[in-house]
Chains A and B, each alone.
Chain A
Amino acid sequence: MNGQAWLLLLEGAWTTLWISGIAIAIGVVLGLGVALVRMARIPFVDQVLVLYVSLARATPLVTLVLFIFLTAPTLGMGLDRNTAAILALTLNTAAFNAEVWRAAFLSFSRDQREAALACGMTGPTFFRRIMLPQMFTSSLPGLVNEMSFIIKSSPAIAVIGIVDLTRVTNRITAVTYEPLPPILAAALFYMLIIGVLIRVQAIAERKANRLAM
């Protein structure tokens, strides 16, 4: 492998990172939204969200990416590859994040809510100032865990022709006719990315434990 191949690999790593990064950023917020709406128990909407979470958890990412990319044009929406990939990753990760957030909701102590209301805080202020910061700390390990899962399943976007860190190995092999070195190098890049996330998760866990919730 020469310098050119390494550059291609870096480019692939960057594609994987920015697409997953956007999906993670939207997915965390969307997951919080889904969890909030589910906690409100609005009749019909609640059932729809339960269905969504259950379906999204059971659908393989490869299938979802293909489904969105191929179906969008028949519905009259022209999606380019990157948008379709981001949409699929977001739909997938938001469902898992919603469960993480919901667990944090359900385990939140009632005493604090009663104390805050007794001190004269309104509901939204209580949520913003008291509940959200604690919930964020206690669900951060789960969220980071889900991030490393989404990076691990991000090669699914290669199926619609995006040249990500996995797909780029085929490109390099097409020139060098040596498949093993680029695949091993890509594996190294993945291990670097996910290794960092695992380390962050350990730190977040320590922090959450100190909160003692």
Chain B
Amino acid sequence: MSEWAIIWDARQAFLDGFLNTLLLFGLSISVAFATGCLFAFWLERRNPLTWLLRGFIDCMRMLPFLILAYLLYYGLPSLGLRLDAWTAGLIALIIYYAAYFGEVLRGARLVLPAGQVEAAKAYGFTGFRLYRRIVLPQLVIKTRPLMGNLLILALKDTAFLTIITVRELTAAANSVQATYFIPMEAFVVVIALYWLISICLELALKWAGRFGAKRGFEHV
């Protein structure tokens, strides 16, 4: 069992990687969600900028995340903008998932019954206030399962950042196994940690579902 003792000795590396992954994930997902909500609001209008945004979202849906990270990390320096790996990874996560959140919300907006919006307009809600107080809460509650999928996808995509040399959880496992030659134990620990995060996410979503059910949204 000496391998596990080595893992325990190297716990600091795992902990650092774990916290870094959590930080990247939490930060990017929060900003991406807020931006995605703005995107969905923007998409309700009809002007040339809307078409631009739609094109951008469609592009993101057809690109692998790593290509976007490559563009920011390897591509931008030739345009004179040099980002360090961590910042480039964070920005790539934000851009990529903002597009996905926007797309999910847009899909839900299309099937939202018009009656509520009309009633809200009759009560004097307009523009952004109408969107923020009436439309957005319903969209978020209704798209809960899709949001859950996106969260898990985003968590898994943080592992790609190890390829552009970000020191996150997978990179920690890789460096520990390269130092002590114990790949199995190192990766078992890391996979268990990823699993832990995703189980917590699923529990949080279940809890959010109970909240939605209390408001009478789950059966529609």
Measured CB to CB, the nearest residue on chain B to A197 is B62
With A58-B199, A183-B71 as given contacts, are A63 and B191 in contact (CB-CB < 8 Å)? yes
**B99 at interface by CB-CB < 8 Å:** no
A180 touches B79 (CB 8 A): yes
Query: Range of interface residues on chain B?
Result: 35 or more
**A155 at interface by CB-CB < 8 Å:** yes
Query: Range of interface residues on chain A?
Result: 35 or more
Distance between Cα atoms of A59 and B169 in the complex (Å): 12
Q: Which of B64, B71, B191 contacts A152 (CB 8 A)?
A: B64
Distance between Cα atoms of A70 and B179 in the complex (Å): 13
B159 touches A70 (CB 8 A): no
Q: Which of B78, B191, B197, B198 contacts A179 (CB 8 A)?
A: B78
**B143 at interface by CB-CB < 8 Å:** no
The segment out of A23-31, A42-50, A188-196 that lies at the interface is A188-196
Distance between Cα atoms of A180 and B162 in the complex (Å): 20
Chain A binding surface, main DSSP class: helix
B156 touches A60 (CB 8 A): yes
Q: Which of B59, B71, B195 contacts A58 (CB 8 A)?
A: B195
| B66 proximity list for chain A (CB < 8 A) | 155-156, 158, 166
A58 touches B187 (CB 8 A): no
Give the interface of B toward A (CB within 8 A): 59, 61-67, 70-71, 74-75, 77-79, 152, 155-160, 162-163, 169-170, 173-174, 177, 183-184, 187, 190-191, 194-195, 197-199
Give the interface of A toward B (CB within 8 A): 54-55, 57-64, 66-67, 70-71, 74-75, 151-156, 158-159, 166, 169-170, 173, 178-180, 183-184, 186-187, 190-191, 194-195, 198
Closest 8 CB pairs of A and B: A60-B159, A70-B183, A58-B198, A67-B187, A155-B66, A60-B156, A62-B159, A191-B62
Known: A67-B191, A153-B64, A184-B71. 19 other contacts (CB 8 A): A57-B198, A58-B155, A58-B199, A60-B158, A60-B159, A62-B163, A63-B159, A63-B191, A66-B173, A66-B187, A67-B187, A153-B157, A166-B64, A169-B74, A179-B74, A180-B71, A183-B70, A187-B63, A198-B62
